[in-house]
Amino acid sequence: MVSSDRYSRPRATPRWRRVRDLPRFIVLALLAVIFLAPLYWMLSTSFKPEAETISIPVQWIPKNPTLENYDEIINSPDGKLLRWTWNSLFTAFAFTFVHVALCVLAAYPLSRMRFKGRETWFWFILSSMMVPGIVTLIPTYIMMLQFNWIDTYHALIWPGVAGAFGVFLLRQFFSTLPRELEEAARMDGANSLQILLFVILPLSVPVLVTLGVFSFMGSWNNYVWPLYVATSPDMQTLPVGLTSFSQRYVTEYGKLMAGTALAAIPVLVAYLLAQRYLEQGIALTGMKE
């Protein structure tokens, strides 16, 4: 009789395999250092006194760390950092919620329902990804003028909420779900909306979080569109508002890095909180037709 311990203990990795993976590990470690070095430099410089930011040789670790840079840009009498941060947070969350909701409502019938012209509509929506955003900038701006939405939250949220990439991502994922679940729900008397809310969406949390993080990052980092439609300082978003810091503190690198670090915090927090779902969503999103 074979002992069960033989199957319960994990097998040790052969030495030859570990030696073979060593070059790959070294390359990945070097790439990690290359990508993380600018982030570390930004954080390090934000805590340096101004004299240390231009010292030679370069100081990677602050000798006299200080919070003076953060205090000045947050409490500056002519700065509106907190207001810009609120504008970015509000518009990013509102854009993400509406964008994900619209993508779900478009992807569900394209993946789970059978109707005439379904594939034609899908490829028509997908073809919109071929149009550069700069082409629609002026027509969209004119539309905002006609709606009297310039310098309002409406202009920062509604344009772009109907994105083709989100529809494609969710449609591909919804297509991989077993149809038996949907058929069982219909036998219990559920309609299409109930199936979407109580069957499809609970199984799609990873891909929904993935799309939500991508949407949040896109809205948070958006610079060109808010630059045109947010004309007053009170309506500017953080990326646009930070340009005033680059003009005011053109040679004060510590304060510039402090403002940049504050702008990067929400995106980093969103990624860290959703990392597990991001990995699952990317791994589970199929390419099934």
pLDDT per residue as tens digits for the range 85-137: 899 999 999 999 999 999 999 999 999 888 888 889 999 998 988 888 888 99
Task: Say what the pLDDT of residue 133 is.
Answer: 84
Q: How confident is the model at residue 23 (pLDDT cuts 50, 70, 90)?
A: confident
Q: Where are the domains of the chain?
A: 14-70, 74-284
Phi–psi pair at 231, nearest 5 degrees: -90, -25
Q: CA 59 to CA 53: how far, in whole Å?
A: 8
Buried b (16+ CB within 10 A) or exposed e, 2-20: eeeeeeeeeeeeeeeeeee
Q: CA 70 to CA 81: how far, in whole Å?
A: 11
Q: CA 181 to CA 200: how far, in whole Å?
A: 9
Q: CA 253 to CA 111: how far, in whole Å?
A: 51
Q: How confident is the model at residue 144 (pLDDT cuts 50, 70, 90)?
A: very high
Task: Say what the pLDDT of residue 287 is.
Answer: 42
Which amino acid belongs to residue 283? A
Q: State both tokens at 283.
A: 């791994």
Q: For residue 10, what is the DSSP state? A: P
Report CA dihedral (108, 113, 115, 121) to the nearest 10 degrees.
30
Q: State both tokens at 210.
A: 């993935």
Q: CA 104 to CA 215: how far, in whole Å?
A: 13
Task: Say what the pLDDT of residue 90 is.
Answer: 95
For the domain 74-284, what is the CATH code? 1.10.3720.10
Buried b (16+ CB within 10 A) or exposed e, 267-283: eeebeeebeebbeebee
Read off the pTM: 0.81
Task: Say what the pLDDT of residue 271 is.
Answer: 79
Task: Say what the pLDDT of residue 7 is.
Answer: 47
User: Does 288 score more than 60 pLDDT?
Assistant: no
Q: How confident is the model at residue 289 (pLDDT cuts 50, 70, 90)?
A: very low
Q: How confident is the model at residue 1 (pLDDT cuts 50, 70, 90)?
A: very low
User: Does 204 score more than 70 pLDDT?
Assistant: yes
Query: Quick one: which of 244, 281, 188 has its CA closest to 76?
Result: 244
Task: Say what the pLDDT of residue 246 is.
Answer: 66
Q: CA 74 to CA 77: how far, in whole Å?
A: 9
Q: For residue 265, what is the DSSP state? A: H
User: Does 13 score more than 60 pLDDT?
Assistant: no
